[in-house]
Amino acid sequence: MTDRQLPGVGDEVEYQPGCRAIVTDVSHGVPILRAAARSEWPADNPDQLVVTRTRQERIEAEA
């Protein structure tokens, strides 16, 4: 068992140090990411993604 949480749709992730994106979809096990001023793209290293806020945490923060 690992402490690392797998990202789900709506989660905010860090895909490289200091760079964050939102998971918009998961295709064949690969998260699809979107960041400001950038088109969607498949995560280059899905195993390296770090969940910074879950979808639920983002919703609660915006309420």
Across the chain, what does the average pLDDT equal?
Answer: 92
The whole-number pLDDT of residue 1 equals: 37
Count CB-CB contacts under 10 A for residue 22: 20
> Using CA atoms, how far apart are residues 2 and 47, in angstroms rounded to an integer?
12
The whole-number pLDDT of residue 40 equals: 97
pLDDT higher than threshold 60 for residue 2: no
Q: Which residue has the higher pLDDT, 1 or 57?
A: 57
Please state, for a pLDDT cut of 90, what percent of the chain lies above it: 86
**Distances in whole angstroms, Cα of residue 25 to Cα of each of 21, 43, 51:** 12, 11, 15
pTM: 0.86
* Residue recorded with tokens 């088109």: 39
The whole-number pLDDT of residue 4 equals: 67
